[in-house]
Amino acid sequence: MKAHIVSPIPERVLLYAVDEKIRPKLSAVLQRLSIEECIVTDLDLAQDVGYLAGFPGFVSKEEAVTAPPACGGVLCMCGISNQRMNLLLKSLREEGIAVPLKAMVTATNQRWSFVKLIEELSKEHQAILQQKKEKA
């Protein structure tokens, strides 16, 4: 019987359109926690989230997509346990770093293009804001 060796997924954060004013502080937090930082550019938007996260089995795509409307920034966590995610989010709050759209890579969204991830996160964010507005 052959052993199936699964290589661990590196702790990585995908960042897109994060405000340049907070980027140095955000980079410092990631470096302090030994989490790899990966900047996603407009040229990467057609790529699958799994490819950008460094998951095996994903290949680069050659297609181009239109950048989504301004989103205020995206932080997508890959290969990070719940305990480490909580530590990261706590560290960001303590440093006063706000990135409006946050996600974890999941079995579902790893097959989405990064632009689709942004679109879905934006819809969810708007729905939450609308709910808060209605309660007020």
User: What does the pLDDT look like over 51-103, one tens digit per residue?
Assistant: 999 999 999 998 888 877 767 899 999 999 999 999 999 999 999 999 999 99
Contact 53, 12 (CB under 8 A): yes
pTM for the structure as a whole: 0.88
28: left (phi over 0), alpha (psi -120 to 50) or beta: alpha
User: How confident is the model over 23-41, as pLDDT tens digits?
Assistant: 999 999 999 999 999 999 9
CB 44 within 8 A of CB 74: no
In the chain the first and final C-alpha atoms are separated, in Å, by: 61
Q: What is the pLDDT of residue 65?
A: 82
**Which pLDDT score is estimated for 7?**
55
Residue partners of 92: CB distance under 8 A and separation at least 6? 26, 29, 98, 99
